[in-house]
Amino acid sequence: RLSGMIFFLACYRKERVLWFWCPPCYGGVKFNVCEVVFEDDVGCGGVLRDLDGVARALFSGSTTAKDSFAAEVGAISIAFDMFTEMGWNGKSLLCIEVGSLEVSNWIENKGLRPWSLGSLFKDVEFRLSIIRNVSFSRDGNCGTNLAFALAVAGLKRQSMFKAWW
């Protein structure tokens, strides 16, 4: 039994390493977005990394969203806004990695979207029409540790913090 447990822990550790961060395709950048809900507070955060894994931008703040799904869709809109504000639109492919299977499915299939989030998805669709060169992927671990930490820090922020370099 002990050897089986050690094998399980070794496999678990290997899987954690593999799920840590995967680079975007050549010529692209990846935005990991994450949301956190704690009691009545909802925060979101995100980190933009280049092909080498170097952080190029981040955001953190509280949202007026009522649940984690709305916060994650809102975080996608913030990621689009930052990508455009940085002047990277048309210069590289943008990959957005979301943590929720539901949000990932809603992005792929418009018919599955809840009507209560219609205005948020309308904003996402508008931004998609501007940027165009966007792909989505899903990471069940809420992106990277940095994206999660930014979301937690955003719980108590009064305004959205954005920075890029």
Please report the domains of the chain, with CATH numbers, ordered by start residue. 22-164 (3.30.420.10)
The per-residue pLDDT for 11 is 42
Give 114-126 pLDDT, tens digit per residue.
999 999 999 999 9
Q: Which two structure tokens, joined as six digits, stand for 50?
A: 């280049």
Q: Whats the size of the chain, residue-wise?
A: 165
Residue 99, pLDDT > 70, answer: yes
Contact 131, 84 (CB under 8 A): yes
Dist CA 53 CA 121 (whole Å): 29
Q: Which two structure tokens, joined as six digits, stand for 111?
A: 């018919």
Exposed/middle/buried for residue 153 (C-beta within 10 Å: 0-12, 13-18, 19+): middle
Q: Which two structure tokens, joined as six digits, stand for 131?
A: 């940027």
* Percent of all residues in the chain with a pLDDT value above 70, rounded to a whole number: 81
Give 38-94 pLDDT, tens digit per residue.
888 889 999 999 888 889 999 999 988 888 899 999 999 999 999 999 998 888 889
Q: What is the pTM of this model?
A: 0.79
How far, in whole angstroms, is CA 155 from its chain's centroid?
16
Residues 6 or more apart from 122 whose CB is under 8 A from it? none
Distances (CA, A) of 165 to 62, 84, 149: 22, 14, 20
The per-residue pLDDT for 6 is 37
The per-residue pLDDT for 138 is 85
Give 131-144 pLDDT, tens digit per residue.
988 999 887 655 56
Ramachandran area for residue 53 (φ above 0: left; ψ -120 to 50: alpha; else beta):
left
